[in-house]
Structures are given as C-alpha cells and as structure tokens.
C-alpha cells in the first residue's frame, strides 16, 4: 500500500498518509506582479521554508524537470504528427521545434537555477552540445551557412557586354529540424529527464533527513521561515527591470 505511485500533486508523509495539494491563483488585471496564490491541502498542515543548499538544489531541479517534460512533450507531438496522415500546420511544427530546443537550453543556461547533471556517456554529451548550439542559433545566431543571406547581381550570359539586369537575395530560414534531429532530441530529453528524476528522488530523501534533524518546535515557530506557501507570485523580471504599472483610474 505504501508503494503505490503518486500523482504530481500528491505527497506521502512519513506516517504513510497521502496529502493532495491544489494551487489557486488569483490574477490581477492591472499588474501581473500582484497576482495572488495560495496552496490548498487535503488536510491542515504546518509550513516552514527550507533554504539550505540541498533544498535549493531540490527546488531548482523540480523547476528544470518541468522544462524537460515540456520539451519532450513538444517532440512527442512532432513525432506523432510525422507518423500521421494529418500533418500539422508548418507554423505549428516550427513553433513546437523551437519551443523544444529553447526549453532544453533553458535548463543549462547560467542564471539563478543550478543546472541538471548531464550523463557522462559520450553520445549524450555530443548530442547535448549539438542541440545547445542549434538552440543558440534559433535565439540569436544563424543556424548554418544557409541562413547567411546574400545579395546577388543578375546578368544574362547572352548579353555582350554583360550588364546588371536585376538583383536577388538568397537564403533560407530553418523552422524545423530533420526527422533524425527530432528523434535524437527526443532521446536526449528522455535520458536527461530520467537522470534528473533520479537525482530528485535522492535529494528529497536528503532534504527530509535534514529537516527532521532540526528542532521541529523551533522550525515551525520561526517567524522568518513560517509562512503560508506561495502567498505571492509573479512580478517584474529581474532581467528586464521593473514593469511599468498602469494605475487604476
């Protein structure tokens, strides 16, 4: 009974009891940074924030796992569409491909989150480097030499002397990977996602041990750590600066 799989919104307590959670978000029509959220649980609970390095790594990987799952889902939709008689609109195909690449790249970008551990297999690292470079190309650079658009003067070979009779710009915008690239990215995502999930399982156990080693009375009575979870979310991006707020008339 204690080994049945849990849903993403469930937690098994050390007592064996399973608690279900639901996140409620109340958006603000005037300022996204003022959105309010709270968590409802299937039974009353005490909450105390954990902020040690292991707990921080745990929260980072939980966030990263969602990006990996999102990227894999995008690939899965593309693979399913490729084997179907009903094809997706090319714009949707391109959007899914870019979303998969960029979501994967986000997991390894320098920032506030730590990065997932990449399996040491040479093939995995080779594919990882290739898709990171491809994602970079979709974001800010040319993907390959075909995207280096060039202007050409046009002349007719029968004209003597030759003269310019037109111009043409040649180049190509890549919106979707090849079938081989699609399969390879899907396989890479599965490998990294599995490794991340395994590390998360170990981290959860470590964080639980660290929390249980503290004085529970002090832990849950510490006003700096005790709070209603997720009392406030959203806000201006740290990379974009403060958001201009439209005031209510």
Residues 137, 139: Cα–Cα separation, whole Å: 5
Q: What pLDDT does 249 receive?
A: 43
Helix (H) or strand (E) holding 36: strand 36-41
Domain ranges of the chain: 1-47+227-249, 49-141+174-214
pLDDT in tens, 151-207: 889 999 999 998 998 998 876 665 677 888 888 999 999 999 999 999 999 999 999
The mean pLDDT value for 30-50 works out to 80
Q: Which of 22-36, 59-73, 232-246 is predicted with the least confidence, judged by mean pLDDT? A: 232-246
Q: What pLDDT does 33 receive?
A: 66
pTM of the model: 0.76
Q: Is 80 exceeded by the pLDDT of residue 29?
A: no
Give percent of the chain with pLDDT exceeding 90: 44
Q: Is 60 exceeded by the pLDDT of residue 145?
A: no
Q: Is 80 exceeded by the pLDDT of residue 48?
A: yes
Reading the block at residue 179, the tokens are 């079938």
Q: What pLDDT does 218 receive?
A: 92
In degrees and rounded to multiples of 5, residue 130 shows phi and psi of: -65, -45
Q: Is 70 exceeded by the pLDDT of residue 240?
A: no
Confidence category of residue 141, pLDDT binned at 50, 70, 90: low
Q: What pLDDT does 185 receive?
A: 93
Angle between helices 53-82 and 90-107 (to 10 degrees): 160
Residues 35, 236: Cα–Cα separation, whole Å: 11
pLDDT in tens, 76-95: 999 888 877 778 888 898 89
Q: Which of 20-29, 65-74, 171-180, 226-235 is predicted with the least confidence, judged by mean pLDDT? A: 226-235
pLDDT in tens, 110-122: 777 889 999 999 9
Q: Is 50 exceeded by the pLDDT of residue 245?
A: no
Nearest to 170 by CA among 152, 153, 156: 152
| Core vs surface per residue 11-46: b (16+ CB within 10 A) or e | eeeeeeeeeeeeeeeeeeeebeeeeebeeeeeeeee
Instruction: Map residue 169 onto helix, strand or coil.
Output: strand
The residues, any chain, with a CB within 8 Å of residue 40's CB and separated by 6 or more, are 21, 22, 24
């Amino acid at each position: 009974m204690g080994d049945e799989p849990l849903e993403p919104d469930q937690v098994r307590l050390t007592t064996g009891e399973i608690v279900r959670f639901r996140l409620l978000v109340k958006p603000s029509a005037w300022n996204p940074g003022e959105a309010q959220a709270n968590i409802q649980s299937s039974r009353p609970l005490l909450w105390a924030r954990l902020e040690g390095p292991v707990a921080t790594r745990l929260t980072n990987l939980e966030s990263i796992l969602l990006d990996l799952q999102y990227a894999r889902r995008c690939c899965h939709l593309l693979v399913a569409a490729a084997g179907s008689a009903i094809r997706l609109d090319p714009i949707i195909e391109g959007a899914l491909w870019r979303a998969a690449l960029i979501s994967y790249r986000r997991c390894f970008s320098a920032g506030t989150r730590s990065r997932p551990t990449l399996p040491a297999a040479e093939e995995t690292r080779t594919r990882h480097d290739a898709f990171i470079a491809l994602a970079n190309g979709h974001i800010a650079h040319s993907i390959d030499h075909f995207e280096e658009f060039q202007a050409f003067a046009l002349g007719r070979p029968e004209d003597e002397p030759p003269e310019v009779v037109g111009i043409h710009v040649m180049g190509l915008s890549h919106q979707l990977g090849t079938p081989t690239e699609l399969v390879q990215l899907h396989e890479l995502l599965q490998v990294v996602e599995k490794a991340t999930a395994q590390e998360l399982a170990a981290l959860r156990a470590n964080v639980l041990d660290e929390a249980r080693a503290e004085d529970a009375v002090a832990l849950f009575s510490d006003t700096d750590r005790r709070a209603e979870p997720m009392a406030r979310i959203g806000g201006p991006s740290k990379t974009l600066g403060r958001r201009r707020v439209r005031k209510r008339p």
